[in-house]
A and B are shown apart, each in its own frame.
Chain A
Amino acid sequence: MFVLRRLGGALPTLFAVSLLVFLFVDLIPGDPAQILAGPTASNEEIESIRQFLGLNEPLLTRYGHFLRGIWDPAVATSFRTHRPVVVELAERLPNTLIVSIGGLVIGVVVGTLAGIVSAMRPGGFADAAITVLTLAGISMPIYWLGLLCIWLFAVHLGWLPAAGASTPAHFVLPILVIATRPAAMFSRLVAASLTETMGKDYLDTARAKGLSETRVVLAHALRNSLIAAVSVAGVQFGGMLGGSVVTETVFGIPGVGRLLVDAVSRADYPVIQYAILMFAVFFVVINLVTDLLTQWLDPRTREQERPA
């Protein structure tokens, strides 16, 4: 029930996002047809490009056209390759998904564990080490980290391939590099909220029951602190997803992020539009999942029943 309602809530956002991405071409200062055709083009050429782009149609028709492009390969084609945008995206999507989801999962798992260790022994050696690593992780430009990893593991040690996406080994470095940010972020969030939770009265209630300290932490403290961590993390996932754009460029992985960067530098507007739309949809879905997760973890956010 809640899932449905939450999905319903996401629809207006998705609509607004699609509208924004669609209007994006209109926001470009000057005439896109003029820009595309180049400075030397004749008026006829520009007009034919306008026709081709459908820039003369009414706004609503063009928006319908734009939405149709999501499933109809014939509607939108890349200016550069003249291939359907949908096909271009679909080819590259798996690579992006592997890198970003892989990075996210590894990051969250490592981060949570580090956070627990750090909060359990405050002031200890592990806590100090994790705090330093976490700060380093947040401050590290991942493109630089990527370059350093290529030099160390691919060039110097020769353990892993440097660029490309042909074998599973190609994905190891990108996933690890992309995982640094979520790992650092989650470690901080979990440590902070766990430390806060450790002072709560209900943990003393649990101790007074005669439960072991392990059980007090795992059954009572961790779940409460994850609520805070997950709801904050939901907002932060954007930064992590964005990491795939840069990482794909560093490691030469043919993914959607790289496609987007290339498209931006070559003013390939249809590709830019649909790639951004795809990232946005992806992100909305992740936020939805975070919300559902918070919901599942925290009964207080479920539908309110009348107090007894």
Chain B
Amino acid sequence: MSLVQDMAAGAPPLAAKSDAAPPRRRWTLLWRILAQPKGAIGLTLVVLYLLLAIFGPMLAPQDAFRQNFAQTLRPPSAAHWFGTDQLGRDVFSRVLVGARATLGIGVGGVAVAFLIGVPLGILAAWRRGWIEAVLMRAIDIMLSFPDIVFALAVVAILGANTQNVIIAVGVVAVPVFARTARAVTLSILAEPYIEGSAALGASPARIILRHVLPNISGTLLTLSTLLFASTLLSASGLGFLGLGTQPPFPEWGTMLGESRSYIRSHPYLATFPGLFLAVSALAFNLLGEALRVIYDPTSRRTARRAPLFAFLRRRPAAPSPGIAADVEAERSAVSVKALRMAFRTRDGLLDVVRGVDLAIRPGRTLALVGESGSGKSTLLRAIGTLANPQEVAITEGAIGIGGQSALGLSAAALRELRRRKIGVVFQDAASALNPVLTVGAQLAEAVSAGSSLDNEAVRQRCIALLQDVRIADPERRLAMYPHQFSGGMKQRIVIAIALAQDPQVLLADEPTSALDVTIQQQILVLLREIQAKRGMAVLLVTHDLGLVARFADDVAVMYAGRIVESGEVATVLERPLHPYTLALRASAPGAGEGRGQPLRSIPGEPPLIGQFPAGCTFRPRCPRTQGRPDCAEREPEPRTVSGRQVACLFAEEGLS
């Protein structure tokens, strides 16, 4: 409680956004709560309610217990703001006085549940074995009783009064705390940093106190807040049933129970205690929701919702006029012209792809090489027409697939384009397949989309596709689910789906980096064979120059949203002219340096999106830029040097 008041007392300083200052956690938390409307309203109301619980009895204008039979069941008036009850007592005073009992029961109940449930849950997660088995069984049994029924049973045993209601609602919430504490502790214990601490030699007590508790505290705080709301409601429910706080003591639930008999004639009697109760539950729920957004990683996505009216912006991007005709006229399977893309963020648009030109001829493989933040995957998604317009905007340029512009299409035309011309293979085959549908169903969908094949023809086509990707025994495999296949097999199935309608372009986003090295080779060889047979164009996104050397015809190296060097693999990798390409090649172990010799590394790390340096983006890491103001002045445009495109003002230095 003191913490909450403490936090509410002062105005929050702005949370430091820069990397330099570490966040001061307490203020950061408060700020993050207040930054959400839910949190701001919830926290304000919660603070008001807590003040009410503390000072309510002092503020009450009249004696909440004094009966006055001359003044029974009066409607609200200046003397009695909320009216009087059947015994002539002032309802406003009773509501104020009742705040302490009502909220106190909630606090007490949550405290009981927390103090019993959390240690049990942590113990179970830490010791595992029989302790966990027994505890989980006990929780199962306790959860076999509906909560209010369980609370009724406890009250029946102990008798109806305020203290027993606290015990009853507390005991009911114990399993929830124990369960959650166990689950979050288990997930924290599975984190590598716990193993790191154990390997450091930290004792179990230290690990629990220093690493587990701080990391589960957020979840437990959220849970306590949310449970407070439901505990409040169940406790007052008992009061309403006449089994909680006993009259004449005012508690909102008990007051509601008493008002029940007068609902026909004197509805205001039920209005005010009920309103206070509902709003208090709402306040804690709002605060809990705000905390959940902060602490629950799975709710982040929900939290980062598009702003209101985002749907107005959701119309498909149109190609820049003039260029669209260009991409349609070209014979390339894929043609990208002057493409610029930007992430939509709260702070506006952040450039991620900044003027990319590229073309893939039929039957060729273009490898797109880059590190994190280079924009390579975003570019691939845009070419695959899969860029989510809510997250990323195509601000300029044009994309052509097989001589057709891929931007500004109607939904139907877009579907047709995806079916006939584009196949996509994702990095993680496990998440690229729907876990609840059979492989056969997912293949059949791809085969039959937009076509009028009968079932048997679809089935035959599915079998043929599985054979194409070298999966033995295809008839049986069609009825199986993705989780029944190994990683390499799943990737083969994803490839089969991509090939379903003979696309002209196959887009592969790091198709093998989640796989073991020996499996990688199998998949890449398979892709190569299929490409040779079908004459498709392939776009292979990767970070591995070894793969590029072995499996691609052309290569484009991306850095900070631009292509810095591109050309035929043999030309570019044999003698890179851009210092970044050179660095990539040199930094791979086994690239010529002897054992024991340091690798030729470049300093620094790839820049983050939105923090690209001015001028040449590679300048801060570049060995060539020393004493050359030109590099800082403007971003070099790609130009042809020695048989490839390279965007460096001093590319010729690589030739000597």
User: Per-residue CB proximity of B262-286 to A under 8 Å, as 1/0?
Assistant: 0110010010001001110110011
**Given contact pairs A123-B306, A192-B299, A220-B434, A209 touches B419 in the complex (Cβ within 8 A):** yes
Structural contact, A29 and B233, CB atoms closer than 8 A: no
Which B residues are CB-close (under 8 A) to A237?
Answer: 146
Interface residues of B (CB under 8 A from A): 137, 140-141, 143-149, 152-153, 155-158, 160, 229-230, 233-234, 236-237, 240-243, 253, 256-257, 259-260, 263-264, 267, 270, 274, 277-279, 281-282, 285-286, 289, 298-299, 301-302, 305-311, 381, 384, 386, 411, 415-420, 422-424, 426, 428, 431-438, 442, 445-446, 449-450, 477, 480-481, 483-486, 489, 494, 497-498, 500-501
User: A16 near B426 (CB under 8 angstroms)?
Assistant: no
Q: In the bound complex, do residue B282 and residue A139 qualify as a contact, i.e. CB atoms below 8 Å apart?
A: yes
- Chain A residues, CB < 8 A from B140: 13
| B299: chain A residues within 8 A (beta carbon) | 192
Q: Are A261 and B416 in contact (CB under 8 A)?
A: no
Contact at B242–A204, with CB atoms within 8 Å? no
Q: By the criterion CB–CB under 8 Å, are A17 and B145 in contact?
A: yes
Is B306's CB under 8 angstroms from A305's CB? no
In Å, the complex CA distance between A207 and B477 comes to 23
Expressed in whole angstroms, the Cα–Cα distance for A223 and B257 within the complex equals: 43
**CB within 8 Å of B: which of A127-165?**
127-128, 135-136, 138-141, 143-144, 147-148, 150-151, 155, 162
Using an 8 Å CB-CB cutoff, how does the interface string of A255-290 with B read, 1 for contact, 0 for none? 000001101110100001000100110011001000
The 6 closest A-B pairs by CB, nearest first: A210-B419, A242-B148, A144-B274, A139-B282, A139-B281, A242-B146
Residues of B within 8 A of A287 (CB): 144
Q: B500 and A308: CB pair below 8 A?
A: no
**A204 — which chain B residues lie within 8 A by C-beta?**
381, 386, 424, 426, 432
> Please, how many angstroms separate the alpha-carbon atoms of A298 and B480 in the complex?
13
Q: Check: A82 CB closer than 8 A to any chain B CB.
A: no
Q: 18 pairs across A/B with beta carbons < 8 Å? A: A138-B281, A139-B233, A144-B274, A191-B302, A199-B301, A202-B435, A208-B384, A209-B446, A210-B418, A219-B445, A241-B149, A260-B149, A265-B160, A276-B145, A276-B149, A279-B145, A279-B146, A305-B480
Q: Is B240 within 8 A of A246, CB to CB?
A: yes
Looking at the assembled complex, report how far the CB atom of B157 sits from the nearest CB atom of chain A, in whole angstroms.
5
**Chain B residues, Cβ within 8 Å of A227:** 436
When chains A and B are docked, how far (Å) is the Cα of A194 from the Cα of B397? Answer: 33
B229 touches A138 (CB 8 A): yes
Name the residue of chain B whose CB is nearest to the CB of A213: B411
With known contacts A141-B278, A205-B424, A299-B481, A123–B156 Cβ distance under 8 A: no
For residue A238, CB closer than 8 A to chain B, the reply is yes
- Report the minimal beta-carbon distance from A20 to chain B, rounded to whole angstroms: 7
* A283 touching B274 in the complex, CB below 8 Å, given contacts A135-B286, A208-B418: no
How big is the A interface, by class? 35 or more
CA distance A145 to B396 in the complex (A): 55
- Complex CA–CA separation, A220 to B445 (angstroms): 11
Check A308 against B489 for contact (C-beta < 8 Å).
yes
Neighbouring B residues of A8 by C-beta, 8 Å: none
Other-chain contact of A207, B259, B281, B386, B483 (Cβ < 8 Å): B386
Chain A residues in 8 Å Cβ range of B253: 141, 143
Q: With contacts A208-B422, A249-B241, A299-B436 known, is A147 near B263, CB below 8 A?
A: yes
